[in-house]
């Protein structure tokens, strides 16, 4: 009898330890993995040390890495989440939680006030705007709201929502004279408009992280109106180009959590848009944030070219904006926007639209160090009456190029007095990146390969550190 009790006791211990140990031994160590239930990239090991000077941050990141990567995570979370909802009417999920009257919100941690980030981010946007305007490119920044900002009345009982980050950020945008649109105000105003009084701009349950397509139409109408003020070729949003269709959503976005909610989508009546795949495999993007689209409008060839840096609020919503432009190129904004010169060199847009969302305006998506260390490149047109001088040596014989549809140039140089570098190709000035690799200095730039046809040379221009001297070097190049 005692033996049976002892064996049962040991069996419980083995089962308990197996439940703990087996998931740990099946931890996912692969890089660049996507979570099906969180709709995001899982944290990579190197991300643990993003802020190596902050031990608390490293500890929190390590904990997040383990939570992300532990074995059988998707199955365990789905089973537990649906079970808790059926038994206790509780939504226990890594991304979502219940508010009042069955409304679902993204997970609602206590707001971490970070005024330093708002200052650095707004200064980065200001420099970005100046960069574009100096090159005769129109610029607009747009801010999208959280669902909790538009519908705070359905938040969980007792949740203390802070708007300190948002309020201070908008104050900075105003004070720095940034051309911006707050769709926070746009959606709050629409919510009170009789036309939308009884229509939700975010779904009650489905996709709590983004506006629904009705909310998107409100937001995109405001965006297009503002872009039309910058360039009257844009025109206005025309709802008659779309027809509504009702959908039933059976699970939350990127989750196996069961729902049954009807939502309205809007489909183009005539699809005159061509998707361009030519550059998708070559254009450089951050390994964790790779969303990319490029469309040509077959019926509006005279419209302006629009380059967008945007997040998931714009995913699958390009249909609301493509009709107003000859081309629309969209790059995932997180981290990629730091290298805006690279994308502008390639796409040569008429207008740049930079969008971010209230809940993503944090140091993870737009690292403070990267923004603070960003080199702002003045336009070559700012310089007049410079003295020609030799302070750069270019090794013509070792110029490297790569790529098929996009050609990337790497030009080895020698100089200890170089501030900026530019290249003139077919009377178009591109800004060059100055890169140091193992004490070797390089000038780098990328351009669409078709722009190199029928040319056999290009000119490099260099500006000295004192900004009083320049040097021009002709590079012989056989296409």
Residues 186-236 have pLDDT tens digits of: 999 999 999 888 899 999 999 999 999 999 999 999 999 999 999 999 999
For residue 23, is pLDDT > 60?
no
Residue 31 has a pLDDT of 64
DSSP state of 110: P
DSSP state string for 342-385: HHHHHH--SEEEEEEEGGG-STTTS-HHHHHTPPPPPPGGG--S
CA distance 101 to 272: 42
pLDDT, one tens digit per residue, over 340-376 is 999 999 999 999 999 999 989 888 899 999 999 999 9
pLDDT tens track for 456-466: 889 999 999 99
Full-prediction pTM beyond 0.85? no
* Residue whose structure tokens are 């296409």: 479
Q: Are 143 and 181 in contact, with CB atoms under 8 Å apart? A: yes
Which tops the pLDDT comparison, 270 or 55?
Answer: 270
Q: Which CATH class is domain 380-476?
A: mainly beta
Burial of 284 (0-12, 13-18, 19+ CB in 10 A): middle
Q: Structural domain boundaries of the chain?
A: 18-106, 115-372, 380-476
Q: List pLDDT tens digits, range 283-310.
A: 999 998 999 999 999 999 999 999 999 9
Kindly tell me if the per-residue pLDDT of 183 is higher than 60. Answer: yes
Q: What is the reported pLDDT for 306? A: 98
Q: At residue 18, does pLDDT exceed 90?
A: no
Compute the average pLDDT of residues 388-399. Answer: 91
Does residue 426 register a pLDDT over 50? yes
């Amino acid at each position: 009898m005692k033996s049976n009790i002892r064996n049962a006791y040991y069996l419980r211990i083995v089962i308990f330890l197996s439940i703990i140990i087996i998931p740990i031994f099946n931890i996912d160590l692969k890089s660049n993995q996507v979570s099906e239930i969180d709709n995001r990239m899982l944290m990579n090991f190197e991300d643990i040390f993003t802020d190596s000077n902050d031990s608390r941050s490293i500890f929190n990141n390590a904990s997040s890495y383990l939570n992300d990567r532990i074995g059988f995570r998707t199955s365990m979370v789905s089973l537990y989440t649906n079970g808790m909802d059926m038994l206790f009417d509780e939504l226990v999920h890594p991304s979502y939680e219940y508010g009042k009257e069955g409304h679902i919100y993204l997970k609602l941690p206590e707001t971490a006030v970070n005024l330093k980030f708002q200052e650095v981010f707004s200064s980065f946007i200001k420099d970005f705007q100046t960069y574009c305007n100096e090159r005769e490119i129109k610029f607009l920044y747009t801010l999208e709201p959280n669902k909790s900002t538009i519908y705070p009345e359905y938040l969980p009982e007792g949740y203390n929502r802070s708007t300190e980050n948002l309020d201070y950020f908008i104050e900075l945008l105003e004070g720095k004279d940034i051309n911006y649109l707050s769709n926070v105000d746009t959606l709050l105003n629409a919510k009170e408009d009789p036309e939308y009084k009884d229509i939700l701009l975010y779904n009650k349950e489905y996709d709590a992280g983004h506006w629904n397509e009705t909310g998107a139409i409100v937001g995109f109408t405001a965006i297009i109106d503002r872009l039309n003020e910058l360039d009257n070729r844009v025109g206005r949003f025309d709802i008659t180009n779309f027809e509504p269709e009702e959908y039933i959503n059976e699970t939350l976005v990127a989750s196996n959590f069961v729902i049954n909610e009807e939502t309205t989508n809007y489909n183009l009546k005539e699809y005159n848009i061509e998707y361009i795949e030519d550059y998708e495999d070559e254009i450089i993007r951050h390994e964790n944030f790779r969303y990319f689209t490029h469309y040509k409008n077959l019926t509006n060839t005279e419209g302006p070219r629009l380059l967008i840096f945007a997040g998931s609020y714009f995913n699958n919503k390009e249909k609301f904006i493509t009709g107003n432009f000859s081309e629309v190129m969209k790059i995932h904004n997180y981290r990629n926007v730091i290298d805006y010169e690279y994308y502008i060199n390639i796409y040569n847009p008429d207008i740049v639209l930079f969008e971010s969302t209230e809940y993503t305006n944090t140091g993870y998506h737009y690292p403070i160090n990267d923004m603070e260390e960003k080199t702002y490149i003045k336009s070559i047109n700012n310089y007049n009456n410079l003295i020609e001088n030799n302070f750069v040596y270019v090794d013509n014989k070792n110029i490297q190029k790569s790529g098929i549809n996009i050609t990337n140039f790497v030009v080895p140089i020698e100089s200890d007095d170089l501030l900026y570098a530019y290249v003139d190709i077919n009377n178009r000035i591109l800004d060059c990146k100055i890169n140091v690799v193992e004490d070797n200095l390089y000038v780098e730039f990328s351009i669409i390969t078709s722009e190199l046809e029928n040319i056999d040379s290009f000119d490099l221009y260099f500006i000295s550190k004192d900004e009083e001297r320049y040097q021009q070097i002709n590079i012989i190049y056989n296409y």
